[in-house]
Amino acid sequence: MNTILRRAIGTALLGALGATALTGCGSDDDSDAKGGAGSKTVVLVSHESFQISPEVQKRFEEESGYRLKVLKSGDAGVAVNQAVLSKGKPQGDVFFGVDNTLLSRALDNDLFAPYEPKGLDRIPDALQLDKGEHRVTPIDTGDVCVNYDKKYFADKKLAPPKSFDDLVKPEYKDLLVVENPATSSPGLAFLLGTAARYGDDGWEDYWKKLSDNGVEVTDGWQQAYNARFSGSTGGKKAGGDRPLVVSYASSPPAEVYFSKPQPTKAPTGVATGTCFRQTEFAGLLDGAKNEAGGKALLDFLVGKRFQEDMPLTMFVNPVVKGAELPKLYSDFGVTVDKPQTMEPGKIAENRERWIKSWSSLVL
pTM over 0.95: no
Instruction: Please list, in sequence order, all residues whose beta carbon lies within 8 angstroms of the beta carbon of residue 133, skipping any fewer than 6 positions away.
Output: 114
pLDDT class of 29 with cuts at 50, 70, 90: very low
Ramachandran class of 66: left when φ > 0, alpha when ψ lies in -120 to 50, beta otherwise: beta
Given a cut of 60, whether residue 318 has pLDDT beyond it is: yes
| Bridge partners, 144 (sequence order) | 248, 276
Whether the CB-CB separation of 321 and 123 falls below 8 Å is answered with: yes
Please name the CATH architecture into which domain 9-362 falls. Answer: 3-Layer(aba) Sandwich (3.40)
User: Reduced to 3 states, what is the DSSP secondary structure of residue 147?
Assistant: strand
User: Reduced to 3 states, what is the DSSP secondary structure of residue 281?
Assistant: strand
> What is the DSSP secondary-structure string of 53-95?
-HHHHHHHHHHHS-EEEEEE-SSHHHHHHHHHHTTTS-SSSEE
Give mean pLDDT, residues 291-315. Answer: 97
Each residue's pLDDT tens digit, 67-84: 999 999 877 778 888 899
| CB atoms near residue 265 (< 10 Å) | 9
pLDDT for residue 9: 43
pLDDT for residue 28: 42
Each residue's pLDDT tens digit, 252-298: 999 999 999 999 999 999 999 999 999 999 999 999 999 999 999 99
C-alpha–C-alpha distance, residues 32 and 58, integer Å: 18
pLDDT for residue 78: 80
Q: How far apart are the first and last CA of the chain?
A: 26
Each residue's pLDDT tens digit, 168-222: 999 999 999 999 999 888 999 999 999 999 999 999 999 999 999 999 999 989 8
Task: Give me the helix-helix angle, 203-212 and 185-198, nearest 10°.
Answer: 120
% of residues, the chain, pLDDT over 70: 90
- Mean pLDDT, rounded, of the chain: 90
